[in-house]
Structure 1
Amino acid sequence: MPVLSRADTSIVGRWWWSVDRVMLTALILLVGIGYVLALAATPATNLALSDPRTLVMIKQIVYLATGAVLMVGTSMLDLKQVKLAALGIGIVFLLLTGFTLVHGVTIDGGRRWISLPGFTIQPSEFLKPALIVATAWLLAERRRTPGFPGLFAALGLNGLVLLILLRQPDVGSTALVASTFFVQLFLDGLDLFWVGIAVIGFGAAGFAAFEFIAHVHMRVMLFLHPTKDKAYQAITALSAFGNGGLWGRGPGEGQVKHYLPDARADFVFAVAGEEFGLIVCLGIVLVFAVIVLRGLARVLRETDLFVALAASGLLASFGLQAFINMASSLSLIPTKGMTLPFISYGGSAVLAVGLHMGFLLALTRKRHHAERSAEFGTGFGAQDHTS
């Protein structure tokens, strides 16, 4: 690729010199790791195109390439376009997420998918990044426009989404959305009294889920009292890390993928541990840490409330999701069916995280005062800027 001049005023030129290239590089590296693990998580007994496992691997590679393109394309949006995109995507996928309650496909006890010719889609995955951006706009707009009911609108919108997710049911996504919303409220200046109420509420909700939702109760009990027969997935995944040791057994030499049905999705980190060892696993953790810390460093220098709230929410959601997946693979927390961004298998998950991180890259791009004024001068989500 030719080197772009700083004088290049094309869309690509302006994007290249304003985007956080460290964060972009780390994200592209994650896509590359996802490609390698898509190969590693596929048993090599038969790689013929007639083998369904080979087709799954090929589909994942296509998803990764498409997700990377979507991420880069979304990162070229200006702030006003980010808001408009989030509004459109949010409306469409909120309706589709609600539609799953009526005509959704049930998989593993959850009605979260919509069946389309040749594939299924999980609308809630695309709804989450749009919801984060919309929530940030509502909270920021109430500061700019006296009398604007941004807080109540944000509470109502997030409450509706949480209600739908609970009805599916999707306890993991419910907890992730609620936690991200709390982070945004806290950064917006939530009174400490309500912070305490929220913490108590989270505790009460967790206890209620343990008491009244059967599969949550079972997973917590198996985490506290694992047995070889009943906690098979967690014990098998943990043993994979032991088998891999420091340097791993080598590409294609792992065995956990033959025994765990969710090896390429929920337990892909265990596949990495067995085949590539502790060093590579620490490297994966480091890449996620670089993305989150780099993003937070950008947010700390941000003077626009909308950008700060939206970027912080996107980072919190991304980081929490990665932590939950890796921690559950290591039996540090109860097992939870949550994907590892850009690495676990799944079309909806990969494409949605591409959109998610594209929004983040767009929000954290360097902007001159004139560019900000042009973006916020009129239209949806106009903001006042004094810097």
Structure 2
Amino acid sequence: MSIARNDTSILGRWWWEVDRWTLFAILALCGIGVVLTLSASPSVAERIGADSMHFVRKQVTLLLPALCIMIGVSLLELRNIRRLAIVLVGVSIVLLMGTLVFGTEIKGATRWVSFGGVTIQPSEFAKPAFAVVAASFFSASRLGEDIPGYTMSTALYFVIVTLLLLQPDVGQSIILSAIWFVQFFLAGLPMMLVIVMALAGVMSLVGAYFIFPHVQSRIDRFLDPASGDSYQIDRAMDAFMNGGILGTGPGEGTVKNTLPDGHADFILAVAGEEFGLILCLIIVLLYAFVVLRGFTRVLNSNNLFVVLAATGLLVQFGLQALVNMASTLSLIPTKGMTLPFISYGGSSLIALAIGMGMLLAVTRSRPGGTV
């Protein structure tokens, strides 16, 4: 783009302040997502009786608005990012409560609400909003402002996690817990409380195994694949074996024809079969680059809110990608979680665009060389 450094317009200042490398990495992930959706989704659409381009059209139709939302959010100043997050977390809590009353049940869980034919998963929007609001509470309390920031962030955390567990959605609860714990730690959590909370986390995971049958089933199948249905994992591993280093070629994969979630949670398997280890490593490197680049941007920041907000957003983004890829590779028990900007999923795409827009906004280079 030909924008002069002395351009003082909103777009001009944004272009020279925003982290363009992170922006380009996210755009690269989106491009890979479109290519893989074109390859993986037609067979899934035909199996459910839709035309072959059904999922492709829906994903591409949402992609442009998502990118516009990301750019639009990244243009906001810090105070407006906080306001947006507060509004979004409030709406998310209302919708999370709505899932328990009139939510759409899919595979035994009520995680979605429908309005006029549009299905929304509120938990996707709660994660980035919570990361920013909790960062605001923690930083305010740490800097001596007259608000009970630690108490408010803790209360907000328990409200959202309780609503998630009632759906139930243990995976999203774990990610939200990781965001809250890391931010609390950076804000000055005493070491004794770190130990107590770590033990509480382990006990919560053990409790989830005995309380939620689907969690117990997934862990049992992970430890002993012969104990239950491991069809998708088996097909995913076949895909990686077929692909090898260079892959079978675009559109030449066969496992996607029998992989139910090949366009969604297991899209990495399609990438492995058709494009091989090379593309899988590129995808991993892109996610690692976004996370490490984000931490590098805030490493020397003197704004505690920026540090905590960026950390929370990066933990969410990186952990979600890690969980999806590790599940597909059978390194951890399976968890229905999208691969950021690559898997099919409207709520996930829009929510991630908002979250990454917030990240780009808080990591912009402000006057004086500070982030």
- Report the alpha carbon displacement of residue 371 of structure 1 after superposing the two structures with TM: 9.9
- List gaps (5 residues or longer) in structure 1: 373-387
Q: What SS class does the counterpart of residue 227 from structure 1 fall into?
A: helix
* 1:132 and 2:131 aligned: yes
- What amino acid is the match of 1:69? C
- The equivalences for 1:213-252 within 5 A come to 213-227=212-226, 230-252=229-251
Q: Which residue is equivalent to 1:361? A: 360
* 1:185 and 2:159 aligned: no
* 1:104 and 2:103 aligned: yes
Q: Which residue is equivalent to 2:27? A: 28
- Alpha-carbon contact 2:179-2:315 (below 8 Å) kept: yes
- List gaps (5 residues or longer) in structure 2: none
Q: Which residue is equivalent to 1:9? A: 8
Q: Which residue is equivalent to 1:268? A: 267
- Alpha-carbon contact 2:44-2:262 (below 8 Å) kept: no
CA distance in 2, matches of 1:202, 1:148: 27
* 1:302 and 2:301 aligned: yes
- Report the alpha carbon displacement of residue 118 of structure 1 after superposing the two structures with TM: 2.6
- Alpha-carbon contact 1:34-1:64 (below 8 Å) kept: no
- What amino acid is the match of 1:32? G
User: Which of 74-83 and 56-65 deviates more?
Assistant: 56-65
Q: Which residue is equivalent to 2:327? A: 328
- What amino acid is the match of 2:31? G
- What amino acid is the match of 1:311? A
Q: What SS class does the counterpart of residue 42 from structure 1 fall into?
A: helix
- Report the alpha carbon displacement of residue 66 of structure 1 after superposing the two structures with TM: 1.8
CA distance in 1, matches of 2:116, 2:258: 30
- Alpha-carbon contact 1:74-1:359 (below 8 Å) kept: yes
- With over 3 angstroms needed to count, the CA separation of the structure-2 counterparts of 1:146 and 1:363, relative to structure 1, is closer
- What amino acid is the match of 2:352? V
- With over 3 angstroms needed to count, the CA separation of the structure-2 counterparts of 1:46 and 1:134, relative to structure 1, is closer
- With over 3 angstroms needed to count, the CA separation of the structure-2 counterparts of 1:239 and 1:154, relative to structure 1, is same
CA distance in 1, matches of 2:246, 2:19: 32
- The equivalences for 1:136-151 within 5 A come to 136-151=135-150
- Alpha-carbon contact 1:242-1:274 (below 8 Å) kept: yes
- The equivalences for 1:110-129 within 5 A come to 110-129=109-128
How many residues end up aligned between the 2 structures?
369
Runs of 4+ that moved beyond 4 A? 44-47, 369-372
CA distance in 1, matches of 2:103, 2:43: 34
Q: What SS class does the counterpart of residue 41 from structure 1 fall into?
A: helix
Q: What SS class does the counterpart of residue 81 from structure 1 fall into?
A: helix
- Alpha-carbon contact 1:44-1:252 (below 8 Å) kept: no
- Report the alpha carbon displacement of residue 303 of structure 1 after superposing the two structures with TM: 0.8
Q: Which residue is equivalent to 1:152? A: 151
Residues 207-263 of structure 1: CA deviation (Å, up to 9, x unaligned): 111122111111111111113972111111111100111011111111222112111
Quote the sequence identity (%).
Answer: 47
When normalised by structure 1's length, the TM-score is 0.92
Q: Which residue is equivalent to 1:254? A: 253
Q: What SS class does the counterpart of residue 114 from structure 1 fall into?
A: strand
- Report the alpha carbon displacement of residue 119 of structure 1 after superposing the two structures with TM: 2.2
- Alpha-carbon contact 2:78-2:361 (below 8 Å) kept: yes
CA distance in 2, matches of 1:114, 1:336: 20
* 1:198 and 2:197 aligned: yes
Q: Which residue is equivalent to 2:93? A: 94
RMSD over aligned Cα atoms: 1.8
- Report the alpha carbon displacement of residue 144 of structure 1 after superposing the two structures with TM: 2.9
- Alpha-carbon contact 2:265-2:343 (below 8 Å) kept: yes
Q: What SS class does the counterpart of residue 111 from structure 1 fall into?
A: strand
CA distance in 2, matches of 1:288, 1:109: 31
- Alpha-carbon contact 2:175-2:316 (below 8 Å) kept: yes
- Alpha-carbon contact 2:99-2:110 (below 8 Å) kept: yes
Q: Which residue is equivalent to 1:210? A: 209
- Alpha-carbon contact 1:186-1:195 (below 8 Å) kept: yes
* 1:72 and 2:65 aligned: no
